Amino acid sequence: MIRKLFILFSFGIFSCSVCAQDSLVYKSKWQMKCLVGANIPVTKLLQGAETDYLLQYDDHSYYWQFMSMSYFFHKHWGLELNFQAGTSSKIKHRADNFITDVQAKYDDKYYVHPTTGAEYDDDEFYLFLGDISRGYLGLIYRFETKKFYVYPKFAIGVISFSTDWGSADLKEKNSNIECKINYSSKKIPNDHFTIAPSVSFGYKILNRLYLNADIMFSHYKTNIVFKKETTNLYTNKSSMEYFDYKKSISTLSLGTGLIYIIH
């Protein structure tokens, strides 16, 4: 869903005509913003289990926002539509981390051969969407002087990330007993409704260019459960274990970048 919204958003931006009018205090109608930043967890989703590495997610991540468009329909009021893409080094290495974690968990008694769908994710990385995608539509209140501005905002949106499968073949040492472990969740793409109050503030460095800083607090609820099924291939008996990721997640996002006055 985030990918489709991004395509429509990009088309809308490039369809806008750029006017040559000089920007004035409270006179600008269209603004475009680019920034980079970090997501800092207030509450954490990950729990230290091997299934953490099957989530295309990290509590600590960095993000980039190539395009964010604001339109002011009133002297003080406007709307903002923006997309953020995020990732982390932990996400990039989660396939290796899953394999290492499962091997460490069972290799005292078994020969272990794990695998996971996360191994194939590197071929599907999208620069504009990242591993974690966020899209927001928000209401802006505008306060400006000749050199400074402060824009309090309240937005709603969606945060999207994926989950993967994992498995492991186990052969007990000094015996012929073999087991199969499968990890799975019901949903692969996961979209979570998000509320996000924020504030942007900055300083004018050129006639149409502002240095910008963003502070955002986002909150959403997840509904992810992983099932771990262990099957003894000799007796064909299975046991189940569940890893619950149903949580309320709050994140503080800090970013810096530039705002360009289009019109």
Contact 99, 116 (CB under 8 A): yes
Distance between CA atoms of 176 and 193, rounded to whole angstroms? 49
Please, which pLDDT band fits residue 12 given cuts at 50, 70 and 90? Answer: very low
Distance between CA atoms of 1 and 135, rounded to whole angstroms? 10
Q: What is the pLDDT of residues 146-170, one digit of tens each?
A: 899 999 999 999 999 999 999 999 9
User: Across the chain, which distance is largest between two alpha carbons, in Å?
Assistant: 81
Selected from 2.40.160, 1.25.40, 3.30.70, 2.40.50, the CATH number assigned to the domain covering 2-6+37-90+126-162+184-261 reads 2.40.160
pLDDT at 106 over 90: yes
Query: Tokens representing 185?
Result: 């969740």
Phi, psi (deg, nearest 5) at residue 174:
65, 25
Contact 226, 54 (CB under 8 A): yes
Distance between CA atoms of 251 and 38, rounded to whole angstroms? 10
Instruction: Please state the pTM of the whole predicted model.
Output: 0.82
Q: What is the pLDDT of residues 206-241, one digit of tens each?
A: 988 999 999 999 999 999 999 999 999 989 999 999
**For range 130-140, the mean pLDDT:** 94
Break the chain into its structural domains and give their ranges.
2-6+37-90+126-162+184-261
